[in-house]
Chains A and B, each alone.
Chain A
Amino acid sequence: MSGFLEFEGITKSFGDLKALDHVSLSIRQGEIFSLLGPSGCGKTTLLRICAGFETPDSGRVLLDGKDITDLPPNRRKVNTIFQNYALFPNMTLRENIAFGLQIAKVPKKEIAERVEAMLQLVQLEYHAHKRPHQISGGQKQRVAIARALINRPQVLLLDEPLAALDLKLRQRMLVELDGIHDEVGTTFVYVTHDQSEAMGLSDRIAVLNRGVVEQVGTSTEIYEAPRSSFTAAFIGDTNFFNGRVCEIIDNEYCLIEIEGIEPRLRFFNDKNLRANVRVDVSVRPEKFSMDRNPPVPSLKHNTLRGIVEDIIYLGSHSKCWVRINDEYLISVTSQHSRFLLDRKPILWNEEVWISWHADDGYMLERYDENDEALLALPSDTDLIEEPAAVDDVEAE
């Protein structure tokens, strides 16, 4: 491994709870790296170990080749943006931003120049004399960024920095963060539970679950080729099937027999599975096309017939649940760019055909049935709360 920031076999327990279990990650210089996972997955603990607020039970943290595991926070060239910003209320914004340089005993003239430059970067020149309680959440966020970046850290740690902002502001700050990163080029480590933030901002993402790294990859890799059921279900929506490989076709594809589903389904066999092996597969809802007429038969497409059980209109698209053979409930996204022009939109209880390309299904390496709970099923009342914007980013 030759990363800029390296975690080597980090393990950390709090009492009986194992927060991190042999986590190893390698983060490159200058990239935006996200730690993504549900609350309690250990992402914040990992960040705090990197900042120096926690010491791992075992394992090492290397920054630019140097072991920083036992260095106290004030001696690491790492700065943090806290979830609640943690601005000093007794100081003006200018004093807040200058704090790090004053501690480092930088000459006054240089401090003034660098603070001015930072204020410009985060567009707060006209608010510099105010105190934290006099500015808005988005502005506080920017002060926190300026206060951290002015010390020219080797790594900037961001602990759910947008969690306290509302949706619109969050999207704008995301763009601003990206712009700031382009300008300063510092390595960002970004902790979030929000998949859309992570996917929109990051160069690479590490998905964490119960203290273990599930997968590391770019947004596309994580979304299109999830290795585990957790990754598949936590990022975006998906459908799971369990079946048995019953025939290999051209060394590339295989037919999978799934109990209760006719006919056998064709999947891309990227795991080189042999016949008679059991396998878990997943197909994302937007990979399906849905029609009330049977599609033209094609060798590379799978086609199933079902009944529409539920439709939820979400603005940019609709979510449908299609019941197959009274057994499987499949989530299907239906785009409707010409919604009003559709003479006969598909309605509840209609019989439909859904089909998808064999390459769009995906074989999982690991499956845990608990992860199905992460999927939003139609009975869930909180479905409507899911913002349409989240799905926009996923679709990228």
Chain B
Amino acid sequence: MKRSRLPAVTLVLVMVFFYLPIIILVVNSFNEHKYGSAWSGFTLEWYVHLWKDADIWHALRNSLLVASVSTVVSTVLGTVAAYALDRVHGKLQKFHNGLIYMPLVMPDLLMGMSLLLFFVAVGFKLGLASICVAHITFCISYVAMVVLARLQDFDFSMMEAAYDLGANSWTATTRVLLPALAPGIAAGALLAFTLSIDDFVITFFVAGPGSNTLPVVIYSMMKHSRFMPVINALSTLLLVVTFVAVGSSQLINNKKGTDLP
């Protein structure tokens, strides 16, 4: 019987569709030609430009700052929210669940606009702080969802066992509950960081003058200066960082895996 070629063809098409643009981007970041329409020679000039571009470094610093703050805050709040959703069984439980789900399904555009209106209405100064608040708002939902999934698998008789063995709530929580939830909390934090660092739409609305994050700066560079090669170089660097991060996390996970029988 002849084997169908369809799977192989599909695979190749999907790979091309996914990765060809990225490859073009990487190649163009080394292309001497300013508009990337043709190959005119290898150069590292764009990386030098990038290195000297104070705006980009400023934006990157902003992005990292915002992502770090909103990750920490939303992880703590999201975990607490998940715990409350799982353990407290009030009349408004369904309503609370819906509230937490909302930002997940709400269009970013709507969220950005409403946050902007809110900040203006209460007289909150637009800047890094407002971006942080906005990011925390939507990150909480993601963290809560991830931690909640983990909590639902947690057997609370383990907490009772800890109390039974003499632990108070603090010890039981730190020594039994949190270690069990740790993978969920870590995954939630990672998700929050990722979402925060590449959020564009919401940030675009609530960013004030001089508080631009990396995605916003890249957007304005494309729109106004059209200095594409530097953006290509920046994207390539981000790509490398992402690959290293994902690869090392895989490595760590695999190492842990060898513990198992």
B-binding residues in A (CB < 8 A): 51-53, 72-75, 78-80, 82-84, 86-90, 99-100, 103-104, 133-134, 147-148, 151
Contact = CB atoms under 8 A, between A and B. Distances in A.
A86 B167 CA distance: 15
Contacts of A72: 163
Contacts of A148: 164-165
Interface of B: 155, 157-158, 160-168, 171, 175-176, 179-180, 260-261
B176 A88 contact: yes
Nearest to B176: A88
A148 B161 CA distance: 9
Contacts of A133: 260
Contact of B158 (A52, A74, A86, A103): A86
Nearest to A73: B163
Contact of B261 (A51, A73, A100, A134): A134
B157 A86 contact: yes
A79 B164 contact: yes
A86 B164 CA distance: 11
Contacts of B175: 88, 99
Contacts of B157: 82-84, 86
B138 to A, nearest CB: 31
Nearest to A79: B164
A147 B155 contact: no
B104 to A, nearest CB: 30
B238 to A, nearest CB: 35
Contact of B165 (A53, A84, A147): A147
A304 to B, nearest CB: 52
Contact of A89 (B160, B164, B180): B180
B171 A73 contact: no
B49 to A, nearest CB: 49
Given A103-B166, A103-B167, A82 B161 contact: yes
B160 A82 contact: yes
Given A74-B168, A82-B157, A134-B261, A99 B179 contact: no
A83 B160 CA distance: 12
B163 A74 contact: yes
Contacts of A104: 166
7 contacts: A52-B163, A73-B163, A73-B164, A74-B163, A82-B161, A88-B175, A104-B166
B38 to A, nearest CB: 58
Contact of B171 (A51, A103, A147): A103
Nearest to B168: A74
A86 B160 contact: yes
Contacts of B162: 88, 99
Nearest 5 Cβ contacts at the A-B interface: A100-B165, A86-B161, A90-B179, A103-B166, A86-B157
